[in-house]
Amino acid sequence: MKLRTLAVLTLTTTVIAACSSPDQTENAKASITEASIAEHVSVLADDSFMGRAPATEGEEKSVAYIIEQFEKIGLKPGMPNGSWTQDVPVMGQTTDRNTSLRITNGGREVMNVPYGNELVVSPAQDQESVNISNAELVFVGYGIVAPEENWDDYKGLDVAGKILIMKNGNPVGGVDGFKGNSRLYYGRWSYKYEIAQELGAAGVLIIHTTATAGYPWAVVGNSFGRERFTLMPESEERAPTQIAGWLGSRPSVELFETAGLNLEELMAAADSADFQPVSLGNIRVNIELNATYRTMMAKNVVGVVEGNDPIYKDEYVVFSAHHDHLGVGAPVEGDSIYNGAMDNASGTSGLINLANAFNMVKSDLKRSLMFVAVGAEESGLLGSKYFAQNPPVPAGAMSANINTDMLSVFGRTRDVVSIGYGRTSIDPILEEEAAKQGRVVIPDQQPEQGFFYRSDHFSFAKVGVPALYMDSGSDYIDKPEGHADWVTDYLRERYHTPLDNFDDTWDLSGTVEDLKLYFSVAYRIANAPEKMSWTSGNEFEAARIKALDELNQ
């Protein structure tokens, strides 16, 4: 009772303090300028940083620069040992492409799909060699187990020793438990591998179609057909899952026909919660794989602005932005350095600017703020994944995550997009603060693309932390007709190419406004009576409950 009374009294005085210095707050926001944004972007995206790939001299320079800025601002090192950095152990896997998927029926080979145009497959873990022989193949629909949606594609199937083949994506359109047309985490390839591994399957093949994936086979081939990166395994224990890969639509249709099944009909049947797994009968899978590995160490940079409330200073608002990019690669127009100015020197600059602004109002803050510049995002969100799994403070102590990735550099807008709108208690705060700027908050206009799962905030969401990831809208102010289309073309031509360079003709007025909006939202979260939460029934709600329970044990 005394603690509760103290908490209420502390909260009251803290809120009064938080509201008592409007000039100080406005001065903090005023510190976010076009010049300060441009300064950090131009440095981080300079050729001398060589594209900032993990475990390179370019990353070392980036990390040193970010630490230098955090020290100048007055942040404190955020790791428990007093360090600014967290090592991220990363493993690179290269699969020998000289292999094929051999399909037999009753012992007779009926198909042979070579690695490449319609097949990519790798060892599922860190095996140097894999030999799958005579494994049963089972179609498991979407391969989803979602209790909150009353959905289970496995229906108690014993998957041991079996290769699971499944549909990409997740049910949409209000079919049974799944509402709307949003791509959920259940629809991501990574989830499908994870659940199959958790259940103990021997392997996973995802059927690719452009419609269900949202991208053509070329994207799959380019992403999965070269060196791939994962976090180093933390234990010697290994799941029985041996292979994971994608199979193109043409060989998939042929495969099911060979088994006397109609793939189109089965894909349609998978849209029902009543779907039952379907064995492909006497069809068997055979494949041999060889892979080589290398290890390296990426870096996260962590700084803290401490809160002042004696009860709540141990709770955190965590900001994230990835500092890495693609390094040096195939030349385009004679340039081989992938500078990553928009992606994501812009977001890292935003992180530094927000850290500086909040350090100016640190006496107002009830909760503490943590600023995390994560590495190895382009390798699969690995820096943020490692941080979320090995945090310096418990996930249950994190009130919210705010992620800055590819800030808009194209001018002010009347709208702002909340990626994953309606998922958390952050959105009402975002709407109120955006309204003060004369802006409206709109949902993601392409929910089927699953953008909520494609940046570092997702790593925090997976451990239960409510996350905000937003984008500028497309209703530009004082821009000529067609400006939004020009922006789309500009991004398409430069994204993940050496053409993503700093441009001193960028209009950073909108970048400033977006960062001020982030500041206003985070300021309120830092001083809110309660931690942020997921909306009831959200796919990450269970993880949040678990994190809070662990904190209170």
SS3 for 385-410, per residue? Answer: HHHHHCCCCCHHHEEEEEECCCCCCE
Assess whether pLDDT exceeds 70 at residue 1.
Answer: no
Assess whether pLDDT exceeds 50 at residue 480.
Answer: yes
Tell me whether residue 3 is in a domain: no
Domain with residue 150: its CATH number is 3.50.30.30
**Using 50, 70 and 90 to split pLDDT, how confident is the model at 176?**
low
Q: What value does the mean pLDDT take over residues 39-59? A: 98
Tell me whether residue 12 is in a domain: no
Of the ranges 87-101, 147-161, 218-232, 431-445, which one carries the lowest mean pLDDT score? 218-232
Let me know whether 254 and 362 are in one domain: no
Let me know whether 423 and 441 are in one domain: yes
Pairwise pLDDT comparison (17 vs 418), residue with the higher score: 418
Tally of structural domains, the chain = 2
Query: For 78, phi and psi rounded to 5 degrees?
Result: -100, -5
Tell me whether residue 1 is in a domain: no
Residue 389 has which token pair? 């799994």
Assess whether pLDDT exceeds 80 at residue 460.
Answer: yes
Tell me whether residue 11 is in a domain: no
Quick one: pLDDT at residue 210? Answer: 86
Of the ranges 222-236, 244-258, 317-331, 500-514, which one carries the lowest mean pLDDT score? 222-236
**Could you give the CA distance from residue 140 to residue 160 in angstroms, rounded to a whole number?**
14
Let me know whether 106 and 234 are in one domain: yes
What b/e string do you get for 393-424 counting C-beta neighbours within 10 Å, with b at 16 or more? bebbbbbbbbbbbbbbbbbbbeebbbbbbebb
Let me know whether 266 and 189 are in one domain: yes
DSSP 516-538: HHHHHHHHHHHT-SS---BPTT-
Pairing mode, strands 243-247 and 203-207: parallel
Assess whether pLDDT exceeds 60 at residue 20.
Answer: no
Domain termination site, one of 242, 272, 293: 293
Domain termination site, one of 254, 270, 293: 293
pTM over 0.95: no
**Could you give the CA distance from residue 395 to residue 461 in angstroms, rounded to a whole number?**
10
Let me know whether 205 and 225 are in one domain: yes
Assess whether pLDDT exceeds 50 at residue 2.
Answer: no
Let me know whether 264 and 134 are in one domain: yes
Residue 486 has which token pair? 């020009």
Tell me whether residue 10 is in a domain: no
Let me know whether 238 and 276 are in one domain: yes
Task: Print the domain residue range for 409.
Answer: 24-91+303-552
Let me know whether 442 and 454 are in one domain: yes
Amino acid at 340: G
What sections of 318-425 are H helices per DSSP?
346-359, 382-389
Domain termination site, one of 293, 317, 334: 293
Cis ω for the linkage preceding 262 (within 30 of 0): no
Domain with residue 411: its CATH number is 3.40.630.10
**Using 50, 70 and 90 to split pLDDT, how confident is the model at 175?**
low
Let me know whether 463 and 377 are in one domain: yes
Residue keyed to tokens 């909260």: 11
Return all residues near 381 (Cβ < 8 A) that are at least 6 apart: 455, 456, 458, 459
Quick one: pLDDT at residue 448? Answer: 81
Let me know whether 324 and 399 are in one domain: yes
> Mean pLDDT for the chain?
93
Let me know whether 307 and 271 are in one domain: no
Dump pLDDT digits (tens) for 364-423.
999 999 999 999 999 999 999 999 999 999 999 999 999 999 999 999 999 999 999 999
What are the angstrom distances between the C-alpha of 424 and each of 206, 210, 428, 456, 541?
Answer: 31, 31, 9, 17, 10
Quick one: pLDDT at residue 21? Answer: 67
Pairing mode, strands 316-322 and 398-403: parallel
Dump pLDDT digits (tens) for 280-317.
999 999 999 999 999 999 999 999 999 999 999 999 99
- Vertex 381, ends 328 and 348: CA angle to 5°? 70
Quick one: pLDDT at residue 216? Answer: 86
DSSP 8-state code for residue 470: E
Tell me whether residue 33 is in a domain: yes
Let me know whether 428 and 498 are in one domain: yes
Assess whether pLDDT exceeds 70 at residue 232.
Answer: yes
SS3 for 94-160, per residue? Answer: EECCCCEEEEEECCEEEEEEECCCCEEEEECCCCCEEEEEEEEEEECCCCCEEHHHCEECCCCCCCE
Please state, for a pLDDT cut of 90, what percent of the chain lies above it. Answer: 85
Tell me whether residue 451 is in a domain: yes
Dump pLDDT digits (tens) for 69-101.
999 999 999 999 999 999 999 999 999 999 999
**Could you give the CA distance from residue 186 to residue 171 in angstroms, rounded to a whole number?**
9
Tell me whether residue 430 is in a domain: yes
